[in-house]
Amino acid sequence: MLPRGAPNQPGEKVSSQDPGEDPSVSLFREYLRLKTVQPEPDYEAAVRFLERLAAELGLGCQKVEVCPGRVVTILTWQGTDPHLRSILLNSHTDVVPVFEEHWTHDPFEAFKDAQGNIYARGAQDMKCVSIQYIEAIRRLKAEGKRFPRTIHMTFMPDEEIGGHTGMELFVKRPEFQALRVGFALDEGLASPTDTFSVFYGEKSTWWVTVKCQGKPGHGSQFIQNTAAEKLHRVTSSLLQFRDSEQQRMQQDKHLTLGDITTINLTMLSGGVACNVVPSELSATFDIRLPPTLDLQAFEEQLRAWFQEAGEGITCEFHQKSLDQTVTCTEDSDPWWKAFSGACRDMHITLNREIFPAATDLRYLRQAGYLALGFSPMNRTPVLLHDHDEHLNEQVFLRGIEIYAGLVAALASVPPLPAEG
């Protein structure tokens, strides 16, 4: 292994290390202790941490401020053939908020129990993958390996709040174009079974607020044509469709969350007093649409439900992704052949799926880049954003081995016709 243990920056928390603990696990726990939690993530600490590791590993380090206070950190291992497109290993540094009263252990202590389970916010989403990338590169460099393709590791801010001040801006910048990306990896999900999930596409995210206007009046009366009646009809239509999709998934065991449309009512607002029938009420829905769905037909259905509910109903889309690009997973594709072939060599069984939520990969795919979502966590409950999020250290260490094999395979893909 290459040397570790560079001195900490002034004021930076020093992590305690069990003398018998694998150094990669200690590094993972150190990263978990950095409070990069939304809405006020300590990104400066994360950048210092990554700069230190770049120096340890002899990697190039570039910082790109995509907007004030939001820096993308890029660690680069140069390949032997600069004419070839690069491999991008992307991850995000921010994590979602916590409700500490529901945690068994301090979510930023990175507590490890007797079974080797490490409890921390970001243990699965996705600080594990960030360190697995780094430790896979450390391992390959220590073995004296070199590859034709350059490998870039990018560490993004603000993915957990939509990526609008992170990857969405970064893909449009000249610094991103200069990376000359050929293929990218990013996060996936844990799998509770022996198999591993790999995600070749994502659902389209629609966030829509429906505003219903109606006749106001005194709360003691049977007032007709109220905003509440209209909102009830809208909500009933959407939630009935939600129920039908859930039943469809339950009846067909081959379907996953990525294959069906999910709808959830996430916010309600309106009203001025307990005894006043309001003139306006609104509801916000989080809708996730699979790439197999006809988006135009679904929007027509959505607007038909609104029209059926009555007059004075308007809607506003806060997010409305129309991109349905997916990455090829046929053996004829050289990138998929390299990825899946490396998995076979490591006796890894893959389930190809559509990601049920959204990641930074949607911005890459929209820009025309091939990408897969993959987090090497099997026999692990899915706990991203959940209380007591944790990952077992043996699963984490196995993930380093898996990424070492994947990186070696992808960075060795022979020149493609377009690169000739």
pLDDT at residue 68 is higher than 90: yes
CATH number corresponding to 23-188+359-419: 3.40.630.10
pLDDT at residue 254 is higher than 60: yes
pLDDT at residue 373 is higher than 70: yes
Report the candidate in 182, 185, 190 with the shortest Cα–Cα distance to residue 342: 185
Instruction: Decide if 203 contacts 258 (C-beta within 8 A).
Output: yes
Locate CATH 3.40.630.10 in the chain. Answer: 23-188+359-419
CATH number corresponding to 204-320: 3.30.70.360
Query: In the structure, what pLDDT confidence band is assigned to residue 17 with cuts at 50, 70 and 90?
Result: low
For residue 12, the model assigns a pLDDT of 41
Report in angstroms the alpha-carbon separations of 234 from 100, 285, 306, 389, 405. Answer: 36, 11, 6, 35, 51
pLDDT at residue 5 is higher than 50: no
Query: In the structure, what pLDDT confidence band is assigned to residue 419 with cuts at 50, 70 and 90?
Result: confident
- Residue scoring higher pLDDT (352 or 8): 352
Return the percentage of the chain with pLDDT > 70, whole number: 96
- Global pTM value: 0.90
pLDDT at residue 390 is higher than 70: yes
What are the beta bridge partners of residue 391? 118
pLDDT at residue 9 is higher than 60: no
Compute the distance between CA of residue 326 and CA of residue 260 in angstroms, rounded to an integer: 16
Rounded average pLDDT over 7-19? 47
For residue 350, the model assigns a pLDDT of 97
pLDDT at residue 156 is higher than 80: yes
Can you give the length of the chain in residues?
420
Locate CATH 3.30.70.360 in the chain. Answer: 204-320
For residue 384, the model assigns a pLDDT of 94
For residue 266, the model assigns a pLDDT of 97
pLDDT tens digit string along 179-216?
A: 999 999 999 999 999 999 999 999 999 999 999 999 99
Query: In the structure, what pLDDT confidence band is assigned to residue 136 with cuts at 50, 70 and 90?
Result: very high
For residue 20, the model assigns a pLDDT of 87
Cis peptide before 126 (omega within 30 of 0): yes
> To the nearest whole number, what is the mean pLDDT of the chain?
94
pLDDT tens digit string along 158-175?
A: 999 999 999 999 999 999
For residue 7, the model assigns a pLDDT of 39
The owner of tokens 């018998």 is 20
Annotated catalytic residues are: 94, 159
Rounded average pLDDT over 44-68? 98
pLDDT tens digit string along 295-342?
A: 999 999 999 999 999 999 999 999 999 999 999 999 999 999 999 999
Query: In the structure, what pLDDT confidence band is assigned to residue 143 with cuts at 50, 70 and 90?
Result: very high
Rounded average pLDDT over 43-64? 98
